[in-house]
Chains A and B, each alone.
Chain A
Amino acid sequence: MKAPPPELTRDKSLRLKDLTVSFDGFKALDGLTLTVDPGELRCIIGPNGAGKTTMMDVVTGKTRPDRGSAWFGDAVNLLTLSEPEIAEAGIGRKFQKPTMFESLTVFENLELALWGDKSFWKALVARLSRPERERIGEILDVIGLTAQRADVASTLSHGQKQWLEIGMLVMQEPELLLVDEPVAGMTPQETERTAELLLSLAAEHSLIVVEHDMDFVRSIARRVTVLHEGRVLAEGDMDQVQNDPRVIEVYLGA
């Protein structure tokens, strides 16, 4: 009835080289070079206007750079693909504001995100197979919404909605997840749960997390990249970065 999910090798690294994007003379990215290894959880921080969102836009095909290259593995040239093609190639993106299907239950939201034939005629007769049900059960477990599986999504808290949307992204079996400010507007408890969630996902996915919340970054980060004026200012573990005098000057010290 349905093709199985594609065999993802989970061995692709994201390599951005010398990316430059300018808007009306303003350089949003200025020779950005960044590599994220397979299975890595990378946090990206930086002041407003440092180029974090523009970088995500380039990776997901929303913005084309003036110069530079962006490769996902050795075969996927991101600069030649459209947004859905990049999604198909295994890069998922979570936007800041949670969007899901408010009148459907948590379970149904995940069901619709299942990998497979999405045509009308197939969906008309589609039935969940046992492995699919189990897969949804696993994701429910991962995002901590098993108890809410039958709840309508509109009744979820802000934090639960963010988790559900992350869960929907994971259902699509991406290799690399880009997550934009996942804990904005969350309570401390929700923030803590989100940290656990992202750490648990990091085992099977590469993750890039853009975040402002320093405590949160400290709680999940292995490697941190600091962006400033469209360039990488510093890279390393949290302590190295926090003690770097240039970083203190532009960002942390402020």
Chain B
Amino acid sequence: MSVAGRLSTALREDPGGTVLLALLAAVAIAVPVLNQAVPASSSLHLSTYSLTLIGKYMCYGMLALAVDLIWGYCGILSLGHAAFFALGGYAMGMYLMRQIGPRGVYGNPILPDFMVFLNWQKLPWFWLGFNHFWFALAMMALVPAALAFVFGWLAFRSRVTGVYLSIMTQALSYALMLAFFRNDMGFGGNNGFTDFKDILGFDLHEDHTRVVLLVVTAAALAASYLACRAIIRSRAGRVIRAIRDAESRARFLGYRVESYKLWLFVFSAVLAGIAGALYVPQVGIINPSEFAPINSIEVVIWVAVGGRGTLFGAVLGAVLVNYAKTFFTGALPEAWLYALGALFVLVTLFLPRGLVGLLSRLRPTLGTDDALPARWTHRSGVGASAGNKAK
């Protein structure tokens, strides 16, 4: 089958995902038009502030996708995914810092301002290469992947599961936060990186650049969705759900459960890292608070609100909860954490399948992956008519 043919079959079987991809396409077209072509005086004009907000939500959507892939389908509840997001963000931040060049406050062509301030004479070895975009790009994926690989290899091989694993991921993120707060780590301490100037030669303060970043983010989110979907629809995806349902049975059938978990975890970390890398140039800052444990917990809430184990539901949850957050933190800043907590309790009690679960009760065709209805009926006539040699 051609790629296009395969894509259209995949979309037909996945109405929720089709809606998501259509919305992303609409955003990628409409937002640039409304921001660039519609004059600022018109009520239809989209401000740069709103544009940045939409880009930010899409990055969160990607992070939620990464968490849903491992939590919804494999039962691995990571409370440390913000760490991978932040690492990707720091990799991008390092590139952006190197791009500032002599335009910093201290005018040092090589060293970022905070290093000059700390009286450092030369660039630490781990900053080498970050002046090249391709190198930074590789690091955005490789650093989260390496951390996830080492962590996952140790944890899954020792058969750490459930709440213990969740606590370990939380501790990992917390430890990284403490480390990145230290000035002598070489990552700008508690100020992190900011005052970025440009990316690939384009001014980050220009609306054009921001529009392009938004379109790239939309494309990255769409590609991530399709990649997750492809994994879940493969036999490996079925093994992953099998592990969630009955881990020991999967082992007994000869599946190396730890290696499945490990590769899925690494892939998920890479997605989170890329999301973080796209986030940083749009919001213009990265600092150690991105590693904060509460951030990782929020991601889990997004996924739970949207609908665990549905992928598109995770994106939906991320956007809706963050929209609510933007609204609340403007109107009632101190109430937000209570509202978030209440939301999680309410969803857990009354909407165990999230908003997607609610929608699919209204429209059964929005079936979720946990209970794929009649998946094989339309394409497995061969087996049904097979002889019965065994008798």
Which of A6-14, A20-28, A104-112, A240-248 interfaces with chain B? A104-112
Chain A residues with CB under 8 A of B254: 84, 87-88, 118, 172
How many A residues touch B, CB cutoff 8 Å? 45
Is B350 located at the chain interface by the 8 A CB criterion?
no
A105 with B376: CB separation less than 8 A: yes
A93 to B215, CA, bound (A): 55
Inside 8 A of B250's CB, which chain A residues have their CB?
Answer: 101, 112
* A123: contacting residue among B236, B246, B370, CB under 8 A: B236
Question: Which residues of B are found within 8 Å of A125, using beta-carbon distances?
Answer: 234
CB-contact partner of A118 in B255, B373, B389, under 8 A? B255
The reply to whether A149 and B390 form a contact with Cβ atoms under 8 Å apart is no
Quick check: B252 and A101 within 8 Å, CB to CB? no
For the complex, what is the distance from the CA of A135 to the CA of B387, rounded to whole Å?
Answer: 9
Interface residues in B354-379 by Cβ distance below 8 A to A read 370-377
Chain B interface size band reads 35 or more
User: Which 9 residue pairs are nearest across A and B when measured between Cβ atoms?
Assistant: A137-B383, A137-B386, A123-B236, A101-B242, A126-B235, A134-B386, A101-B245, A123-B235, A124-B236
Whether A168 pairs with B253 at a CB distance below 8 angstroms is yes
State whether B371 touches A118 (Cβ < 8 A): no
CB of A149 within 8 A of CB of B380, answer yes
Across the interface, which residues of B come within 8 angstroms of A118, CB to CB? 239, 253-256
**B248 proximal to A (CB < 8 A):** yes
B150 at the interface (CB under 8 A from A): no
Residues of chain A whose beta carbon lies under 8 Å from any beta carbon of chain B: 84, 87-88, 99-105, 107-108, 111-113, 118-121, 123-126, 130, 133-142, 146, 149-150, 152, 168, 170, 172, 200-201, 203-204
B383 nearest CB neighbor, chain A only = A137
Residue of A nearest to B368 (CB): A103
Complex CA–CA separation, A166 to B231 (angstroms): 28
Main secondary structure of the interface of A (DSSP, over half): helix
Give Cα A125 to B235, complex, Å.
7
Would B241 and A123 count as touching, CB distance under 8 A? Answer: no
Contact with A120, one of B236, B383, B388, B390 (Cβ below 8 angstroms): B236
CA distance A100 to B376 in the complex (A): 18
What would be 14 A-B contacts, judged by CB atoms less than 8 Å apart? A100-B245, A103-B245, A105-B372, A108-B238, A112-B235, A133-B386, A141-B386, A142-B388, A149-B377, A152-B371, A152-B372, A170-B390, A200-B391, A203-B390
Q: Which of B246, B377, B380 contacts A133 (CB 8 A)?
A: B380
A140 CB contacts on chain B under 8 angstroms: 383-384
B236→A103 contact, CB < 8 A? no
How many angstroms between the C-alpha atoms of A121 and B255 in the bound complex? 12
B260 at the interface (CB under 8 A from A): yes
- How far in angstroms is the closest Cβ of chain B from A223? 22
